[in-house]
Amino acid sequence: EAGVTQFPSHSVIEKGQTVTLRCDPISGHDNLYWYRRVMGKEIKFLLHFVKESKQDESGMPNNRFLAERTGGTYSTLKVQPAELEDSGVYFCASSLGPAGFYEQYFGPGTRLTVT
């Protein structure tokens, strides 16, 4: 069974540019989560999809971040325009059901560097 995959593994962009991160969850997992780890800080929740619907987006830092999950399969996280403080590692996770009851399986992360 394939795990959670994320693309790209690394991205280096300049301030003001746009970047789109992609996450492919484990097949059949309706729940998809995005997390972010800024350097030196803890991993923080960004948002949660159930199928194509946003269940909880309370962790999204501002309106420069847009997440989508069209069709309830893969998800994208777009940052537009990127700022220096957006640098960090973006993790995606998927699960069969809600957090706490079902294990979340994490991807390897996308390391974003904004210069």
Q: Which residues bind other proteins (CB under 8 A)?
A: 3-4, 33, 35, 41-45, 48, 56, 58-59, 91, 93, 98-101, 103-109
From the CB of 107, what's the least distance to other proteins, in Å? 5
Going by C-beta distance under 8 Å and a sequence separation of 6 or more, which residues neighbour residue 9? 108, 109, 110, 111
CA distance 34 to 17: 21
Residue number, 35 or 82, with CB nearest to other proteins: 35
Task: Quote the tokens at residue 20.
Answer: 């789109």
What are the C-alpha distances in Å from 93 to residues 1, 15, 17, 21, 82?
A: 15, 27, 26, 13, 23
From the CB of 106, what's the least distance to other proteins, in Å? 4
From the CB of 75, what's the least distance to other proteins, in Å? 15
Residue number, 36 or 82, with CB nearest to other proteins: 36
From the CB of 11, what's the least distance to other proteins, in Å? 15
Residue number, 82 or 88, with CB nearest to other proteins: 88
| CA 97 to chain CA mean position, Å | 17
